């Protein structure tokens, strides 16, 4: 594993950092309060190639690889985790179509997904009664007599669902086959019968929109099917392996922002006649925060590097996501503690970091599901 970034990776990091510092950071608090979806910012991110970092150039992507992707998401999340989740889900949907779609599907959708016309993409797997147990979904896809499918059901927790131009939607094509009866479809915004519910009133990531997605007899052509009928569960799982690197990167970015804000504050805030950074109680917290952030960052880059070098990375991605999300929450909590009463107000950004961090332990597989995956992989390796 190469620890120094290549020239190309360094360039992507510079691009992401410059944009994050100049455009995202100054308005992050306002977006959190107004809950305004960042349409303009996402347009600029599309122009910079950051909606398709690991997408082949042939389809309009930056083709910079999973390590560059992880590094870029860390930079964006350091400035605004709300914008970052829309970016990670779009990258995940684009990679998924590149991996599982045929040439015509890749040409038809990927460029528009990562290049601006669709704004962002959504990943519509979860349902009101199918969260961690992703294979138990109820949405049905019935074959139409003339070819194509009719989709009917309700999806839940759909990131960017109110603004996305393209949705990857999972549905059952075979009721008797359990997980092997799931299939994945691409559905474009504006397809009759497709609508988004009202945005959820969330604790954090308030600049991102999370909605129910209603599929009321949505008809799609046969070319909307990704892979073959029955491939859906495997498509979801492989996409989530990569998605978990994105969420781990998001957590590392939030943790970095919390550590930096705390270090700054500790040097400025004077108590007992000296900056609180001189107090060992504060130093111990900063030491833990820096240690956990670095551990999470290295685990995340290891998972990305395994993916980049074509090796199995399911285990590494779940380990990275588990450690990064859990430690990020602790780091943000300590950041509030270091800021004292001020940290509990909106005058400082650390309360937002704490709220934003919380969901990284839930979405794209809870910490408990990451442990399930890790245990299975470890036990399989031992046999
Ligand atoms: N890669 C490829 N195939 C995989 C796989 C992987 N990582 N994981 C499982 N599979 C395959 C298995 O090999 C198996 O194949 P066969 O049927 O051919 O044997 C099949 O899938 C079923 O696997 P399991 O027996 O492991 O399935 P399970 O139901 O016991 O458990 C689970 C699976 C890990 C719990 C899974 O349901 C899971 O990951 N749940 C969490 C769901 C999740 O992460 N949701 C996130 C929603 S999306 C989101 O949050 C995005 C957003 O907007 C932010």
Which residue among 81, 121, 360, 365 is best mutated to probe the pocket of ligand 1, counting the most ligand atoms within 8 A of its Cβ?
365
Cβ atoms of 141 and 149 within 8 Å: the answer is yes
For residue 350, the tally of other CB atoms under 10 A from its CB is 25
Residue 373 to residues 301, 314, 340, Cα–Cα distance (Å): 19, 8, 38
Q: Using the predicted structure, report yes or no on whether residue 35 has a pLDDT greater than 70.
A: yes
Task: Give, to the nearest 10 degrees, the angle between helix 280-308 and helix 232-268.
Answer: 150
Instruction: Assess whether the C-beta atom of 371 lies below 6 angstroms from ligand 1.
Output: no
At 2, the pLDDT band (50, 70, 90 cuts) reads confident
d(CA 45, CA 47): 5
Instruction: Assess whether the C-beta atom of 134 lies below 6 angstroms from ligand 1.
Output: yes
At 383, the pLDDT band (50, 70, 90 cuts) reads low
d(CA 244, CA 317): 6
Nearest to 30 by CA among 82, 75, 72, 74: 82
pTM of the model: 0.97
Angle made by CA atoms 126, 122, 114, in degrees to the nearest 5: 155
What's the pLDDT at 339? 98
Instruction: Assess whether the C-beta atom of 372 lies below 6 angstroms from ligand 1.
Output: yes
- Residue 195 host element (H or E): strand 194-196
Residue nearest to atom 5 of ligand 1 (CA): 237
At 112, the pLDDT band (50, 70, 90 cuts) reads very high
Q: Using the predicted structure, report yes or no on whether residue 382 has a pLDDT greater than 80.
A: no
Cβ atoms of 372 and 133 within 8 Å: the answer is no
Q: Left (φ > 0), alpha (ψ -120 to 50) or beta: where does 272 sit?
A: left
Helix (H, G, I), strand (E, B) or coil at 281: helix
| pLDDT (mean) for 227-250 | 98
Q: Using the predicted structure, report yes or no on whether residue 116 has a pLDDT greater than 90.
A: yes
| pLDDT (mean) for 119-139 | 97
Q: What is the CA radius of gyration of the chain?
A: 21
Q: Which atom of ligand 1 is nearest to the CA of 238?
A: 1
CA of 228 to the centre of ligand 1 (A): 17
**What pLDDT, in 10s, does the model give residues 305-364?**
999 999 999 999 999 999 999 999 999 999 999 999 999 999 999 999 999 999 999 999
What's the pLDDT at 381? 79
What's the pLDDT at 26? 98
Residue nearest to atom 39 of ligand 1 (CA): 365
Q: Which residues are catalytic?
A: 364
Task: Give, to the nearest 10 degrees, the angle between helix 65-79 and helix 280-308.
Answer: 150
**What pLDDT, in 10s, does the model give residues 140-189?**
999 999 999 999 999 999 999 999 999 999 999 999 999 999 999 999 99
Cβ atoms of 303 and 247 within 8 Å: the answer is no
Nearest to 25 by CA among 358, 254, 227: 254
Instruction: Assess whether the C-beta atom of 179 lies below 6 angstroms from ligand 1.
Output: yes
Helix (H, G, I), strand (E, B) or coil at 268: helix
d(CA 335, CA 357): 12
CA of 354 to the centre of ligand 1 (A): 28
CB-side exposure of 8: number of CA atoms within 13 Å? 11
**What pLDDT, in 10s, does the model give residues 242-299?**
999 999 999 999 999 999 999 999 999 999 999 999 999 999 999 999 999 999 999 9
CA of 79 to the centre of ligand 1 (A): 31
């Amino acid at each position: 594993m190469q620890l120094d970034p290549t020239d190309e990776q360094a360039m992507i990091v510079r691009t992401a950092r410059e944009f994050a510092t100049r455009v995202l950071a100054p308005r992050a608090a306002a977006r959190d309060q107004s809950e305004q979806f960042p349409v303009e910012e996402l347009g600029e991110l599309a122009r910079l190639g950051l909606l398709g970092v690991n997408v082949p150039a042939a389809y309009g992507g930056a083709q910079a690889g999973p390590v560059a992707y992880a590094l870029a998401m860390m930079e964006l999340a350091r400035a605004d985790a709300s914008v970052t989740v829309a970016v990670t889900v779009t990258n995940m949907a684009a990679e998924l179509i590149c991996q599982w779609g045929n040439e015509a599907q890749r040409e038809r959708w990927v460029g528009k997904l990562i290049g601006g016309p669709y704004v962002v993409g959504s990943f519509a797997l979860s349902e009101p009664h199918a969260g961690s147990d992703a294979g138990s979904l109820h949405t049905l896809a019935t074959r139409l007599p003339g070819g194509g499918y009719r989709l009917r059901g309700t999806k839940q927790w759909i990131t960017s669902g109110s603004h996305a131009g393209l949705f990857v939607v999972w549905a059952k094509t075979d009721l008797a086959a359990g997980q092997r009866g799931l299939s994945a479809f691409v559905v474009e915004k504006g397809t009759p019968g497709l609508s988004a519910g009202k945005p959820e009133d969330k604790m954090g990531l308030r600049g991102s929109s999370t909605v129910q997605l209603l599929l009321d007899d949505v008809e799609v052509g046969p070319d909307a099917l990704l892979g073959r009928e029955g491939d859906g569960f495997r498509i979801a799982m492989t996409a989530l392996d990569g998605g978990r690197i994105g969420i781990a990167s998001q957590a590392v970015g939030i943790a970095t922002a919390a550590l930096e804000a705390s270090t700054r504050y500790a040097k400025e805030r004077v108590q007992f006649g000296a900056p609180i950074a001189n107090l060992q109680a504060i130093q111990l917290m900063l030491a833990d925060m820096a240690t956990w952030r670095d551990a999470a960052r290295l685990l995340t880059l290891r998972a990305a590097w395994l993916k980049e070098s074509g090796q199995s990375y399911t285990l590494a991605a779940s380990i990275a996501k588990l450690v990064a999300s859990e430690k990020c929450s602790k780091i943000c909590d300590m950041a509030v503690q270091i800021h004292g009463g001020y940290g509990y107000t909106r005058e400082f950004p650390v309360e937002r970091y704490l709220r934003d961090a919380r969901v990284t332990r839930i979405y794209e597989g809870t910490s408990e599901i990451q442990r399930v995956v890790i245990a299975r992989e470890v036990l399989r390796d031992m046999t």
